[in-house]
Amino acid sequence: MVNLLKYHNTSYTIHNIAALVDGEAKGNTEFSICKPGRIEHVEPHDITFMANKSYEHFLSECNNVCVLVPRNFAKQPSETQAFIYVDNPHAAFAKVIDLFYSEDTYEYGIHPSAIIASTAVIHPESTILAGVVIEDNCTIAKGAVIGYNCVLQSNTSIGEYTILFPSVVCYSDTVIGDNCRIHSGAIIGSDGFGYVEQKDGSFIKITHAGNVHIKNDVEIGANTTIDRAVLGSTLIEDGVKLDNLIQIGHNVSIGEHTALAGHSAIAGSAHIGPRNRFGGQVGMIGHISTADKVIVYAQSGIGKTIDKPGVYFGSPTQDRMSEIRRLTATQQLPDLIKTINVLQQKIEILEQKIIELS
């Protein structure tokens, strides 16, 4: 069970790290690297990265520090610095962090306080921690970890090496694939917001008889909720990454390798294409879809189908350049109104003069 990050008190040479990240080291490469650090708060013997030029001014404070920089970065390191030139500094830094930190694990086994139905199938090389409840006909695969106080309702399936952090709840018939990470407080398979309004304004609840199917290599953030389908499956494809506090409605499908930032909300029966990127607080109405490789800026509202790849923002969403032109024009409105008022006054003066001359 991933519980705590362990720091490994060790050091590496700059050339060791350059080899790891397929980079080219330049500058003072004689000092050792003891830990990763943020470029805003580095200490001697740290390694950090600079992927955005807005952080370039911090380089002057990086003494006895190694910095991962883009290959096309023109600036040379000072006498007290080392630069490692790489294709993607952020991705390279992710590899470096793993040199110094690893995730703590628990031994295989079932905690005595866990409540497990006799019909559940638990692989002997899995981990079930304290307070877990596992109902009838659930299956837990090899290497899976079910964290403290998780609840798996009947017929739930957890794939190999998937981790459920503490207090995750999976409603009945949930299917989760291999190598997934479901963070604390996530609710998988609760009923969707499905009702039929009556003439008197009351509601009839629609039975949600489907499930949630999460495929492989998916990560779901803390307190995110994914509703079960009315019929069939709410589907999360391979490699999807969902941030914290996201709402996924019933019968939604999310294409492979799509990423949604926090507070996004996707209404029922919407279909998000593969390799989409949604910023924070994006809302999408139900029964529409997006194409492959769509990027939507934060706080946008998707109100109709997006059928072409591209970058969109606004509410309702528009193509980025169209929306920029509209916003630019909107910002000019006060000045335009003033100009129109001045012109109107001049026209009135001219009209009065014409009347006087006639």
For CA atoms 10, 13, 16, 20, the dihedral sign is positive
Amino acid at 324: I
The confidence score (pLDDT) of residue 245 equals 98
3-state secondary structure (DSSP) of residue 341: helix
Which CATH number is correct for 5-103, 1.10.10.10, 3.40.1390.10, 3.20.20.370, 3.40.50.10170?
3.40.1390.10
Task: Taking residues 300-309, report their average pLDDT.
Answer: 96
pLDDT tens per residue, range 164-198: 999 999 999 999 999 999 999 999 999 999 999 99
More confident site: 337 or 219 = 219
At residue 2, does pLDDT exceed 50?
no
Give me the torsion for CA of 13, 19, 25, 28, rounded to 10°. 10
Q: Is the pLDDT score of 293 beyond 90?
A: yes
State the distance between the two ends of the chain, measured CA to CA, in whole angstroms.
Answer: 95
Distance between CA atoms of 33 and 10, rounded to whole angstroms? Answer: 9
Preceding omega of 316 cis (within 30 degrees of 0):
yes
Answer whether 5-103 and 109-319 agree in fold.
no
Pairwise CA distance, residues 104 & 2, whole Å: 6
pLDDT in tens, 10-32: 999 999 999 999 999 999 999 99
Residue 315 to residue 283: CA distance in whole angstroms:
9
Confidence tier at 321 by pLDDT (50, 70, 90): confident
Question: Mean pLDDT throughout 35-41?
Answer: 95
Active-site residue numbers? 250
Distance (Å) of CA 61 to CA 69, 74, 79: 15, 18, 13
Give this prediction's pTM.
Answer: 0.86
Q: What percent of the chain has pLDDT over 90?
A: 83
Q: In the chain, what are the domain boundaries?
A: 5-103, 109-319
* pLDDT value of position 317: 87
Q: Check pLDDT > 90 for residue 7.
A: no
User: Can you tell me the mean pLDDT for 294-318?
Assistant: 94
What local confidence, expressed as pLDDT, does residue 264 receive? Answer: 98
What percentage of residues in the chain have a pLDDT greater than 70? 99
Instruction: Work out the pLDDT band at 265, boundaries 50, 70, 90.
Output: very high
User: Can you tell me the mean pLDDT for 213-226?
Assistant: 98
Task: Report the pLDDT averaged over residues 35-63.
Answer: 94
Mean of the pLDDT values across residues 202-219?
98
What was the pLDDT predicted at 356?
82
User: How far from 251 is each of 103, 212, 221, CA to CA, in Å?
Assistant: 34, 8, 20
Higher pLDDT, 274 or 332: 274
**Does residue 1 surpass a pLDDT of 50?**
no
Side chain identity at residue 4, one-letter code: L
Of the listed ranges 34-38, 105-109, 123-127, 273-277, the one predicted with least confidence: 105-109
Residue 334 pLDDT grade (very low, low, confident, very high; cuts 50, 70, 90)? confident
Confidence tier at 4 by pLDDT (50, 70, 90) = low
Q: What is the mean pLDDT of the chain?
A: 94
Instruction: Assess if CATH 2.160.10.10 describes domain 109-319.
Output: yes
Q: In this structure, what token pair is assigned to residue 156?
A: 């739930």
pLDDT greater than 80 at residue 294: yes
In tens, the pLDDT along 150-162 reads: 999 999 999 999 9
Mean pLDDT in residue range 245-261: 98
Taking a C-beta distance cutoff of 8 angstroms, is the pair 194, 228 a contact?
Answer: no
Residue 221, pLDDT above cutoff 70: yes
